[in-house]
Amino acid sequence: MHSMKPGSVLPALVTGSVASVISTAALLALSHRETGRAVAALNGPSQWLWGRQAAYRRRARARYTAVGYVIHHLSSLLWASVYNHPRARRTLPQPTLRAAAVATLAAAVDYKVVPQRLTPGFEAQLPRGAVALVYGVFAAGLVLGDQLLHRVSSRPHGLIRASTRLPKRTSAAERHVR
């Protein structure tokens, strides 16, 4: 368990950001393989603002690509908050199972519950198997982010490594003896 206070946003920020970055890397690689353009699938979420045709854009444009990434990142933070919720931690204490459950829930909501315009839009550029792989990578990112957070929070000085702490101050008498 993390030493963070219940309700802290830090776990969701860390796990969501890690999951967002590595799932974006998977999106870029899979999109390049499928379309010849790395950003094609990343443009998909921009359909939330610009309409369904935005999901079919293949070239990098701030209007589509930056907006698509921001929406993807914010969605990752939302799902990371579900992953890190105390009830989820109690119900599924094993991080890998919890991450798989959250990624599966995210995919179900994204493709079965919300209107098509509010889907991630990845399916406009990627086959189903590739989209499923992105959700799997997202789950792995939640676990990696959780491990990172656990390592950092279990250190005595948080983000500061013991080897990087300032040396102990010595008195003039102690320096003279050396």
Report the C-alpha dihedral over residues 133, 61, 75, 21, rounded to 10 degrees. 60
Separation in Å, CA 6 to CA 3, 18, 67, 143, 150: 9, 20, 31, 19, 15
pLDDT value, residue 164: 44
Tens digit of each residue's pLDDT (9 = 90 or more) over 96-131: 999 999 999 999 999 999 999 999 999 999 999 999
- The amino acid at 123: E
Report the predicted TM-score, pTM, of the whole model to 2 decimal places: 0.83
> Contact at 8 Å (CB) between 125 and 55?
yes
pLDDT value, residue 166: 44
Say whether 143 sits in a helix, a strand or coil.
helix
> Contact at 8 Å (CB) between 31 and 120?
no
pLDDT value, residue 91: 97
CA atoms of 138 and 26, how far apart (whole Å): 9
Say whether 170 sits in a helix, a strand or coil.
coil
Q: Which of these, 36, 35, 12, lies nearest to 86 by C-alpha position? A: 12
- The amino acid at 49: L
pLDDT value, residue 153: 78
**Residue 159: pLDDT over 80:** no
- The amino acid at 130: A
- The amino acid at 65: T
Report the C-alpha dihedral over residues 155, 140, 100, 65, rounded to 10 degrees. 120
pLDDT value, residue 8: 80
pLDDT value, residue 173: 56
The single-letter DSSP state of residue 124 is G
pLDDT value, residue 160: 44
**Residue 147: pLDDT over 90:** yes
pLDDT value, residue 165: 46
**Residue 163: pLDDT over 50:** no
pLDDT value, residue 2: 47
Tens digit of each residue's pLDDT (9 = 90 or more) over 5-56: 555 899 999 999 999 999 999 999 999 999 999 999 999 999 999 999 999 9
Say whether 155 sits in a helix, a strand or coil.
coil
pLDDT value, residue 152: 84
> Contact at 8 Å (CB) between 38 and 48?
no
Tens digit of each residue's pLDDT (9 = 90 or more) over 62-98: 999 999 999 999 999 999 999 999 999 999 999 999 9
